[in-house]
Amino acid sequence: MTEPLSTAAFIALFGALLTVSVLATRLLDRVGLPVSLLFLVVGMIGGSEGLGGLAFDQSEVAFRAGTAALILILLDGGLNTRWSAIRSAAVPAGLMATVGVVATALVVACAGRLLGLDWDEAILIGAIVSSTDAAAVFGVLRGSGIRLQKKLQATLEVESCANDPMAVILTLSAIDAMTRGSTLGWQLLIDIPLQIAIGLGVGLGCGFLFRYLINSIRLSAQGLYPVLIVASAFASFGASTLIYGSGFLAVFLTAVVLGNGHLPFSDGLRRVHDSIAWLSQVLMFLMLGLLVFPSRLLPHAAVGIGLGLTLALVARPMAAFLCLSWLGWRSKEVALVGWIGLRGAVPIILATFPIMKGLPTGDRIFHIVFFVVVVSAIIPGASITQVALRSKLGRRVNPRRSTLELQLVQRPNRHMHEFSIAASSPSKDRFLRDLNLPEEAAIVLILREDEPLPARGSTQLRENDLLYVVSDECDLALVRNGLLGTETDTSET
């Protein structure tokens, strides 16, 4: 009877940790820190050296589970990324996700050497912490109700979803060089473009294949559609990785193709995958927190904090300047991108690689990376909101989201969409009968201060009104322009 009792106790305590983590998120939202940091700390408290006493030191299990969680997080990010955002941010985000990652890794490596690490360790740690974390960055922005200017928002979104492959490639190459006793060579100049190209091809191919399947096969239950979308992500990752491509990039592109095409019950599907991504993030950081042994942290505190400060104050801003300054960006825009570079799950998961490979310094590298992630989250994270507002590159938005959905089986391209009327919207203060909307589009409901109003021609629109509009997909751009204008940011879902 011992084993079932211990299993039950483990599950009960893990459930308690989940509950505490979720309930405490509002506190961190107000402070401006990434909620992922909270999950990490709660995991440490519940670990073998904490109050919970949960013994967990399975790096390989953490790596595999963490990889699956990252796939689900990238899937959610891709489903909510518009092709227009990718097109507008392709050059700056592409540079930040490639040249910026390499530059960040080099600066951190040099700082590590100055702090007493040998070159192999310093280069490996630089590669591990070189990518930003989408969930951490936009968890802070969404939790604080901040929306950046369109160009900045798109660049940070695309970069944070696309820079993980470069960090993975650099990390695996550095570990391979250490195990062989050699140095990083010119082979990287071939490996990196090749893995990116394979990831692009597999991601787009799987995306269009699964989009065809989803729209061609009538499934017996609505709940099976999210399962099929999850299957597309894992299939894309596996297929790309098996032929030596970038699996993470393939997942992101598969999700982008799916999210920009027609999906049955699309609003409901996005809410499901948003919940799955949050669950993945919580479980992943709790698990990684369980891997951290506080008694092993103190000996590496000085180096870890030093590298964390270097990353936040020197490496990331330098990378942003190198990649963006010659594109005609204003100095304050470059500075804001350089400041918003939070680290999260990817570096900590990559830090388990050296342990699994049996490197003698693997445990030290893991705990140094932990400090780097925490420092880079606290210093920029707590100030992102104020920096964005004071620089006038961000604004507060209404965080309300739609809970209404319309799906017509006979007309699969006709959906209900939500639009929020801003102060700068051309439709503000206009009567519904005077709006220039396509003939087939119809405003069916107005939500004003959480009170539903009927959509009559004599109804005058006000700032912060939420409009529910039924339209065909082909008319959506015209509806958006008529209500919000071409340059107005939208919360349309």
Confidence of residue 136 (pLDDT cuts 50, 70, 90): low
pLDDT of res. 5: 42
Q: Is 110 helix (H, G, I), strand (E, B) or coil?
A: helix
**Per-residue pLDDT at 188 exceeds 70:** no
* Percentage of residues of the chain with pLDDT beyond 90: 18
29: in domain:
no
DSSP letter, residue 423: T
Instruction: Note down the domain range covering 424.
Output: 414-484
pLDDT at 101: 92
The predicted model scores a pTM of 0.75
Q: Each residue of 279-292: pLDDT tens digit?
A: 887 777 777 777 77
The pLDDT value recorded for residue 54 is 67
**How do residues 459-478 score in pLDDT, each as one tens digit?**
888 888 888 888 877 778 88
Domain co-membership, 303 together with 431: no
Which of 396, 426, 461 is the last residue in one of the domains? Answer: 396
What is the side-by-side strand order in the sheet with 442-448?
Answer: 414-420, 466-472, 442-448, 451-453
Q: Are 282 and 21 in contact (CB under 8 A)?
A: yes
356 and 388 in a single domain? The answer is yes
454 located within any domain: yes
Residue 208 and residue 309 in one domain: yes
The residue type found at 365 is I
Which secondary structure element, helix H or strand E, spans residue 385, and what is its range? Answer: helix 384-390
- Which of 335, 367, 396 terminates a domain? The answer is 396
Highest mean predicted confidence (pLDDT) among 4-18, 110-124, 125-139: 110-124
Residue 387 sits in the same domain as residue 477: no
Tell me the average pLDDT of the chain.
80
In a domain, 217, yes or no: yes
Which of 253-262, 391-400, 408-417, 467-476 is predicted least confidently?
A: 408-417
For the chain, the domain total comes to 2
186 token code pair: 């010119």
**Any domain includes 375:** yes
* 471 and 333 within one domain: no
pLDDT digits (tens, 9 = 90+) for 70-86: 888 888 888 888 887 78
For residues 461 and 237, what is the distance between their CA atoms, to the nearest angstrom? Answer: 46
The confidence score (pLDDT) of residue 293 equals 76
d(CA 352, CA 363): 8
Predicted pLDDT of residue 181: 64
CB-based contacts of 446: which residues, under 8 Å, 6+ apart? 452, 453, 454, 455, 459, 461, 465, 466, 467, 468
Question: For residue 23, is it within any domain?
Answer: no
- Domain identity same for 301 and 194: yes
In a domain, 422, yes or no: yes
Helix runs in 115-149, H state only: 119-128, 134-144
**Phi/psi of residue 213, nearest 5 degrees:** -65, -45
Same-domain pairing of 213 and 355:
yes
Q: What is the pLDDT of residue 261?
A: 84
311 and 214, same structural domain? yes
Question: Which spans in 261-311 are helix H?
Answer: 266-291, 294-297, 301-310
* Residue 48: exposure state from Cβ atoms within 10 A (0-12, 13-18, ≥19): middle
Residue among 184, 173, 172, 193 at smallest CA distance from 350: 172
17 close to 290: Cβ distance less than 8 angstroms: no
Strands 442-448 and 394-396, sheet pairing = unpaired
Based on C-alpha coordinates, what's the Rg of the chain?
A: 23
- Residue 50 amino acid letter: G
Assign 401 a pLDDT band (cuts: 50, 70, 90): low
- Cβ atoms 294, 50 nearer than 8 A: yes
Inter-residue contact 387 to 339 (CB < 8 Å): yes
Q: What is the mean pLDDT of residues 383-392?
A: 80
Examine residue 313 and state whether it is found in any structural domain, yes or no. Answer: yes
Kindly state the tokens that stand for 322. Answer: 């190198």
Q: Are residues 320 and 423 in the same domain?
A: no
Tell which wins on pLDDT, 421 or 179: 421
Contacts (Cβ under 8 Å, ≥6 apart) of 283: 18, 65, 69
Q: 340 with 201, same domain? A: yes
* Burial zone of 279 (CB within 10 Å; 0-12 exposed, 13-18 middle, 19+ buried): middle
pLDDT for the residue 487: 43
The string of pLDDT tens digits covering residues 210-237 is: 999 988 888 777 788 899 999 999 999 9
- What is the domain-level CATH number for residue 448? 3.30.70.1450
- Cα(265)–Cα(155) distance, integer angstroms: 29
433 and 316 within one domain? no
Q: Are residues 206 and 279 in the same domain?
A: yes
Q: Where is the domain boundary, 333, 368, 396?
A: 396
- 10 lies in some domain: no
Confidence of residue 493 (pLDDT cuts 50, 70, 90): very low
Query: DSSP of 175-232, one letter per residue?
Result: HHHHHHT----TTHHHHHHHHHHHHHHHHHHHHHHHHHHHHHS--SSTTHHHHHHHHH
Window from 22-36, 98-112, 230-244, 368-382 with minimum mean pLDDT: 22-36
CATH number of the domain to which 137 belongs: 1.20.1530.20
Give the confidence band of 2 by pLDDT, cuts at 50, 70, 90.
Answer: very low
pLDDT value of residue 9: 67
